[in-house]
Amino acid sequence: MTSKKLKKTFTAAFLSGSILLQNFPALAAASDTTDWLKESPFRQDITTEKSTPTESVPSETETVSPETLSTFQTEAETEAETEIPEESKSSNNTASFLMADNSDTFSQILQEATLTPSYTFDSLNQDFSWKELKTELTRRINSYSSKWSVYLKDLTTGNVISINERAQESASLIKLYVMGAVMQEIQNGNLEMNDTTKHLLDEMITVSDNSATNELVRYLNKDHDHKKGMKKVNAFIKAQGFEYTHEYNGLEDTSLWYDADTKNTTSAKDCGRLLERIYRGEFISHLASRQMEELLLNQQVTYKIPSTIPSESRVANKTGETSDCENDAAIVYTPKGDYILCIMSCEVSSKSSAVDSLQEMSSLIYSYFMNRDTSKVSRQVEATAKETD
């Protein structure tokens, strides 16, 4: 099974066009406030596309979507791989540039840049098996020099692929667990879901803001003490049975680093289990699960797993990035069955290459789900149900 990467020049046009299309609703009007009591509409019936607000660069040390996009555009011009620069233009600047261009050029870009995955595969129409998918993912993971791990779960059949399950640097994936701890305190009546709490949760998840995260951790302690609030986060993590996850330090603010030589950790499987419980309405409570799902569906950092998913499907995800890590954990809702996909890569020598590899694996997995024989899947589910009975 081989893959063919689209020409860099086209990729640059595609990415620029996609960003504009994703951000157009945000350019046209301000986004509505979150309806925290509304049930999530995303189950079996997917009829509308999500309007993704304009991506913004959070005030954190992590590298986020616009920087990676800037690197891709640089590659298209130089035909050589480079490291992602520490400072680059945001996606807003990309959109503004396109809007300022003449209408003929802009129309041509829109015609050429369709909302399809950035990668195509020779095996796209091949009905390859789950076992073959695992073999191919394992081969890819083992060929990378850096630390990679993958967790994939078919939410219809229950089939799981877990490769290199271990503790790795979490980066902003730790925010999934802070979100859970805050929701638990709200459920217990120790915190109120007021406008401030809603705003901080939204900032922490949808644009990965570190300051909002640190503030929410302080909220977990009655004295507003961050270190004591972090103990609450870790107690919650332990109580929920997440084996490889621990928060050692606050984010970005060095005054909140209590063990500077140790990184916050999680694992692909821990993230996958958390997302599955949200998906099934079993994390904290049904209402809390729907609220957390809505936050993830409103994610604005979408250059990894979501960038490979066509508009026929939806993604609820949380990313994590540092100077040498590219992580993404997602629920993917498709017309042919939903799945959980978590990919972590650390100690990478090239963040651009890591993003390429992550996107290629995500696109391969999506191809598997969209091209599998659904009648076989139904028979497998029925057979499993009979065995359980």
Residues 17 and 76 both lie in one domain: yes
Residue 369 lies inside a defined structural domain of this protein: yes
Residue 45 lies inside a defined structural domain of this protein: no
Residue 215 lies inside a defined structural domain of this protein: yes
Residues 80 and 188 both lie in one domain: no
Please list the helix, strand and coil fractions of the chain in percent, rounded to the nearest 5, in that order: 50, 15, 40
DSSP 61: S
Residue 387 has a pLDDT of 73
Residues 325 and 236 both lie in one domain: yes
Residue 383 has a pLDDT of 76
Domain boundary among 112, 136, 152: 112
Domain boundary among 112, 136, 154: 112
Q: How many C-beta neighbours within 10 Å does residue 301 have?
A: 27
CA 297 – CA 1 distance, rounded (Å): 32
Residues 103 and 152 both lie in one domain: no
Residue 373 has a pLDDT of 82
- What CATH number did the domain enclosing 257 receive? 3.40.710.10
Residues 133 and 86 both lie in one domain: no
How many domains would you assign to the chain? Answer: 2
**What does the pLDDT look like over 350-361, one tens digit per residue?**
999 999 999 999
Residues 84 and 190 both lie in one domain: no
Residues 342 and 268 both lie in one domain: yes
Residues 324 and 235 both lie in one domain: yes
- How would you class 371 by CB atoms within 10 Å of its CB: exposed for 0-12, middle for 13-18, buried for 19 or more? middle
Structural domain range at position 59: 7-35+52-112
Number of Cα atoms under 13 Å in the Cβ half of residue 212? 20
Element (H, E) at 342: strand 339-346
Beta strands in 42-129 (DSSP E): 119-121
Residue 120 lies inside a defined structural domain of this protein: no
Residue 145 has a pLDDT of 86
Per-residue tens of pLDDT for the chain, all 389 residues: 444 333 334 344 444 444 434 443 343 433 443 343 334 334 443 333 333 333 333 334 443 444 444 443 444 343 333 333 443 333 344 333 333 333 333 333 333 333 334 444 443 445 679 999 999 999 999 999 899 999 999 999 999 999 999 999 999 999 999 999 999 999 999 999 999 999 999 999 999 999 999 999 999 999 999 999 999 999 999 999 999 999 999 999 999 999 999 999 999 999 999 999 999 999 999 999 999 999 999 999 999 999 999 999 999 999 999 999 999 999 999 999 999 999 999 999 999 999 999 999 999 999 999 998 878 788 878 777 777 66
- Rounded to two decimals, what is the model's pTM? 0.70
Residue 127 has a pLDDT of 60
Residues 62 and 189 both lie in one domain: no
Token readout for 332 is 């993917």
Residues 163 and 65 both lie in one domain: no
Q: How many C-beta neighbours within 10 Å does residue 8 have?
A: 18
Residue 74 has a pLDDT of 41
Q: Which amino acid is at 297?
A: L
